[in-house]
């Protein structure tokens, strides 16, 4: 198994690598598309802005290789921005920067509400829509995960939504899943036992 941790020049690479190490997985940190040969799993974490992330991926020649491998069914784990860039566009950028476009939909900002703190930061419960799916095994009906974000994806295809979280007036897609994709707005690598269980489930089901 060759697990590739995509390095686009920003993001919490070390903490994600440590979380994978705890599962006995030694990821290969890759910033050059030429090193993607033999990849069995893609992991793309991220902190920062949607536009900056896509710009850096473009600069490193990673956008088309990522699209191709995801479309071909290479298992993909997206965290935070690694989740958001799967969609077409984001309200975070005014330049109309395109995401990977794997799924139709737009990344939205939380509505301004009196007393609501943005970014959404801290622990929140997550309600899986398909709790009996293998990805959510061992997590119970309402696990808690750690968030740090001001934006969240709004998928056009409701069927890919795997779990939801409510913050203020917004109930948003906390995670999506397909047979080969698991992507989440929260940070599994910062979510202690629940996060480790989710990571373990992903790699066990896609090995």
* Residue recorded with tokens 């968030």: 147
pLDDT in tens, 124-142: 999 999 888 899 999 999 9
Q: DSSP letters of 15-30?
A: HHHHHHHTTT--PEEE
pLDDT tops 90 at residue 11: no
- Residues with catalytic function: 80, 187, 189
Domain spans, the chain? 3-206
Phi, psi of 41 (to 5 degrees): -145, 140
The stretch 4-24 carries a mean pLDDT of 92
* 44 closest CA partner among 92, 109, 100: 100
pLDDT in tens, 63-120: 999 999 999 999 999 999 999 999 999 998 766 789 999 999 999 999 888 888 999 9
pLDDT tops 70 at residue 47: yes
Q: Note the CATH architecture for domain 3-206.
A: 3-Layer(aba) Sandwich (3.40)
Cβ(103)–Cβ(87) under 8 Å? yes
Q: DSSP letters of 96-162?
A: ------SS-EEEEEPPP-TT--SSEEEEEE-EESSTTSGGGTTS-SS-EEEEEESEEEEES-GGGEE
Q: Assign 12 a pLDDT band (cuts: 50, 70, 90).
A: confident
Q: What is the mean pLDDT of the chain?
A: 94
Looking at residue 50, its pLDDT comes to 94
């Amino acid at each position: 198994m060759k697990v590739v941790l995509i390095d686009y020049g920003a993001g919490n690479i070390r903490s994600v690598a440590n979380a994978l190490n705890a599962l006995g997985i030694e990821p290969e940190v890759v910033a050059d598309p030429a090193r993607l040969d033999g990849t069995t799993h893609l992991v793309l974490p991220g902190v920062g802005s949607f536009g900056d992330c896509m710009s850096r991926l473009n600069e490193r020649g990673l956008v088309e290789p990522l699209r191709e491998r995801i479309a071909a069914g290479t298992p993909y784990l997206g965290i935070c921005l690694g989740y958001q860039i799967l969609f077409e566009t984001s309200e975070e950028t005014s330049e109309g920067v395109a995401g990977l476009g794997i799924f139709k939909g737009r990344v939205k900002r939380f509505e301004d509400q009196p007393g609501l703190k943005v970014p959404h930061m801290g622990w929140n419960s997550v309600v899986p829509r398909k709790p009996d799916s293998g990805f959510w095994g061992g997590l119970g009906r309402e696990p808690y995960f750690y968030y740090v974000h001001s934006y969240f994806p709004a998928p056009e295809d409701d069927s890919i939504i795997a779990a939801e979280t409510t913050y203020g007036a917004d109930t948003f897609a906390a995670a999506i899943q397909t047979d080969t994709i698991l992507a989440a707005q929260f940070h599994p690598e910062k979510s202690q036992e629940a996060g480790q269980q989710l990571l373990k489930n992903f790699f066990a089901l896609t090995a």
